[in-house]
């Protein structure tokens, strides 16, 4: 025992643990610190987990297009615990994206970004950008069809940048096409470059948190003034408590919960499904981003073509510029939500927007429904009502791929209008014109359909009516 104490003293004298580190660990925090203050630690825990699982995964991953997919298969199905590690890395990534946003929301709602903590916020905004960059590059390393085409979409987005678009694209995909040099580049960015930047930024972020101290819980009627705040905070700390252990135990509990939750999710749901291997000769692909980018996928599909470049490039810039400006434009004043009634709206509106866009993105009504093509028949309810002549029209409708974009009785694509009751709206002449000439997103079929096909198709469509409705074009009764 004496020996142990002696050894500890020897180490401590040299490390300066008691004299330098302990005062930092036990720095006073305001007594008003509560459970809301754990979101930053939770995010940090998710990041640590990403580093640990990522380093482990890297021992088996081969960052070359010829082998990347096979090595992922090996990790998933053969490597000891590989399945659960991949799952943890995936859910850890989701957790990081979610927790960073929750942490930012909490800091924004409590006005903690105000003087003197503006740089804490700004370094946090950079960390958000780096987290999203990790999420994007990570998805590409899966190197399945989704990954490959997401890379192409990313490259084409970069190509839209004015003037330097071409240069950016070449740098991003490391050449003229997505291929051998692309994956190694993304690998280096994902496992070396961005993590190094994140380590540095977290270091700065934590240093600033200690330098300026944890903000006190906001109180209405106590606005931040640059002249007096530091002194007020000093007063507050006089009744404060040491960070460790009085406040830190809450962080520890939540950090443990984060780890347990991620392991549980990985164990229950497993890693994300590996699609077909990244093979540019397979054009039957259905590329979709991971869930946290689905809202942006919807933005890309829905933005009006005339302002599309502005949306693709300007929108992310605007979001980050806006976030960066928050502490610079409002460094002082009230922190309490009672005096900032607009703050919840600033958070809620983007959240609603992202949720709505995500729902649309998952539905993707603008995408043709390839599953409705080929042999799959119309719903029985529609089929049985048809006489032989109209059966022929239904066959044309199916064979010519109309159902990729048009639904009947809810079955089919949703790019064009539902035709379940089109007979109510359009006369045979109108139907013929619309099909032959197209317009408003509808392709012209004049050169595709024979006159006989057109005839039976129009007859079939004309007969699609809601119950008890006269066909379109019937003169109104006097």
Partner 1 sequence: MAGGMTEGRAMTEQAGEPRPPGAAREAVLSRRRLLTRVAVGGGGLVALALAVPVVGYLLGPLFDSTPATWADLGPVDSFRQGETREAELSDPSSLPWAGETARTAVWVRRGSGNDFTAFQVNCTHLGCPVNWLPEAQLFLCPCHGGVYNGDGTVAGGPPPRSLFTYETRIRDGRLQALVSGLQTV
**Residue 441 binds to partner 1 (criterion: CB under 8 A):** yes
Q: How much helix, strand and coil, in percent to the nearest 5, is found in the chain?
A: 65, 5, 30
In angstroms, what is the minimal distance from the CB of 458 to partner 1? 17
Choice from 2, 4, 163, 305 touching partner 1 (CB under 8 A): 305
Measured from the CB atom, the residue of 235 and 308 that comes closer to partner 1 is 308
Say how far apart CA 421 and CA 409 lie, in whole Å. 9
**Residue 174 binds to partner 1 (criterion: CB under 8 A):** yes
In 3D, which of 242, 203, 30, 233 has the Cα closest to residue 116? 233
Say how far apart CA 140 and CA 228 lie, in whole Å. 50
Three-state secondary structure call for residue 473 = coil
Choice from 448, 452, 470, 473 touching partner 1 (CB under 8 A): 448
In angstroms, what is the minimal distance from the CB of 302 to partner 1? 8
Choice from 29, 224, 278, 458 touching partner 1 (CB under 8 A): 278
Q: Mask 44-83, x = binds partner 1 (CB under 8 A)?
A: --------------------xxxx----------------
For helices 165-173 and 145-159, the axis angle rounded to 10 degrees is 150
**Residue 284 binds to partner 1 (criterion: CB under 8 A):** yes
**Residue 153 binds to partner 1 (criterion: CB under 8 A):** yes
Token representation of residue 315: 């929108």
**Residue 375 binds to partner 1 (criterion: CB under 8 A):** no
End-to-end CA distance of the chain: 109
Measured from the CB atom, the residue of 270 and 287 that comes closer to partner 1 is 287
Output the CA–CA distances (angstroms, integers) from residue 82 to 53, 87, 136, in the order listed.
10, 8, 21
**Residue 230 binds to partner 1 (criterion: CB under 8 A):** no
Of the listed pieces 28-36, 83-91, 324-332, 441-449, which binds partner 1 according to CB under 8 A?
441-449
**Residue 377 binds to partner 1 (criterion: CB under 8 A):** no
**Residue 165 binds to partner 1 (criterion: CB under 8 A):** yes
Token representation of residue 478: 């006097």
Token representation of residue 184: 């190694």
Say how far apart CA 402 and CA 388 lie, in whole Å. 20
Helix (H) or strand (E) holding 411, with range, is strand 411-412
In angstroms, what is the minimal distance from the CB of 372 to partner 1? 12
Measured from the CB atom, the residue of 36 and 291 that comes closer to partner 1 is 291
Q: Mask 333-372, x = binds partner 1 (CB under 8 A)?
A: ---------------------------------xxx-x--
**Residue 26 binds to partner 1 (criterion: CB under 8 A):** no
Pick out residues in 181-220 that bind partner 1 (CB under 8 A).
181-182
The count of other CB atoms within 10 Å of the CB of residue 156 is 12
Helix (H) or strand (E) holding 28, with range, is strand 28-29
Matching residue, tokens 């090996």: 74
Say how far apart CA 421 and CA 60 lie, in whole Å. 56
**Residue 179 binds to partner 1 (criterion: CB under 8 A):** yes
Backbone angles phi, psi at 407, to 5 degrees: -100, 150
> Which residues sit at the interface with partner 1, rule CB under 8 A?
64-67, 148-149, 152-153, 155-157, 159-160, 165-167, 169-171, 173-182, 277-287, 297, 300-301, 303, 305, 308, 366-368, 370, 373, 399-402, 404, 415, 438, 441-445, 447-448
């Amino acid at each position: 025992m004496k020996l142990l104490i002696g050894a500890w003293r020897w180490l401590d004298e040299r490390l300066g643990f008691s004299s330098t580190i302990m005062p930092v660990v036990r720095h006073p925090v305001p007594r008003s610190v509560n459970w809301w203050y754990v979101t930053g630690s939770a995010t940090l825990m998710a990041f640590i987990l990403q580093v640990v699982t990522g380093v482990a995964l890297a021992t088996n991953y081969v960052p070359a297009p010829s082998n990347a997919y096979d090595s992922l298969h090996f990790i998933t199905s053969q490597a000891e615990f590989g399945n659960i590690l991949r799952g943890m890395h995936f859910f850890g990534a989701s957790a990081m994206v979610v927790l960073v946003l929750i942490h930012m929301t909490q800091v924004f709602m409590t006005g903690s970004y105000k003087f003197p903590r503006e740089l804490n916020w700004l370094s946090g905004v950079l960390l958000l950008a780096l987290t999203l960059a990790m999420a994007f590059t990570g998805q590409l390393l899966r190197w399945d069809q989704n990954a490959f085409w997401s890379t192409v979409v990313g490259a084409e987005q970069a190509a839209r940048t004015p003037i330097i678009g071409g240069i950016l694209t070449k740098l991003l995909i490391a050449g003229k096409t997505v291929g051998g040099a692309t994956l190694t580049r993304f690998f280096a960015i994902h496992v070396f470059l961005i993590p190094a930047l994140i380590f540095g930024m977290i270091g700065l972020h934590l240093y600033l948190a200690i330098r300026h101290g944890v903000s006190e819980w906001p109180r209405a009627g106590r606005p931040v003034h640059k002249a007096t705040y530091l002194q007020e905070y000093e007063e507050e700390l006089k009744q404060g408590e040491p960070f460790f252990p009085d406040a830190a135990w809450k962080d520890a509990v939540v950090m443990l919960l984060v780890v347990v939750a991620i392991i549980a999710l990985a164990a229950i749901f497993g890693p994300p499904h590996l699609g077909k291997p990244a093979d540019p000769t397979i054009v039957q692909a259905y590329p979709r981003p991971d869930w946290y980018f689905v809202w942006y996928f919807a933005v890309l599909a829905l933005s009006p073509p005339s302002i599309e470049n502005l949306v693709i490039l300007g929108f992310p810039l605007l979001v980050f510029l806006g976030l960066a400006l928050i502490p610079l434009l409002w460094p002082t004043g009230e922190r309490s939500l009672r005096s900032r009634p607009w703050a919840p709206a600033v958070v809620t509106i983007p959240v609603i927007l992202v949720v709505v866009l995500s729902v649309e993105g998952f539905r993707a009504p603008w995408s043709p429904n390839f599953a409705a093509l080929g042999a799959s028949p119309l719903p029985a309810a529609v089929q049985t009502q048809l006489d032989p002549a109209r059966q022929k029209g239904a066959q044309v409708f199916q064979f010519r791929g109309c159902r990729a974009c048009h639904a009947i009785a809810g079955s089919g694509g949703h790019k064009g209008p539902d035709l379940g009751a089109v007979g109510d709206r359009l006369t045979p002449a109108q139907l013929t014109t619309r099909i032959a000439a197209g317009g408003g997103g509808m392709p012209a079929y004049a050169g595709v359909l024979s006159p006989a096909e057109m005839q039976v198709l129009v007859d079939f469509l004309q007969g699609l009516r809601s119950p008890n409705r006269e066909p379109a074009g019937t003169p109104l009764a006097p």
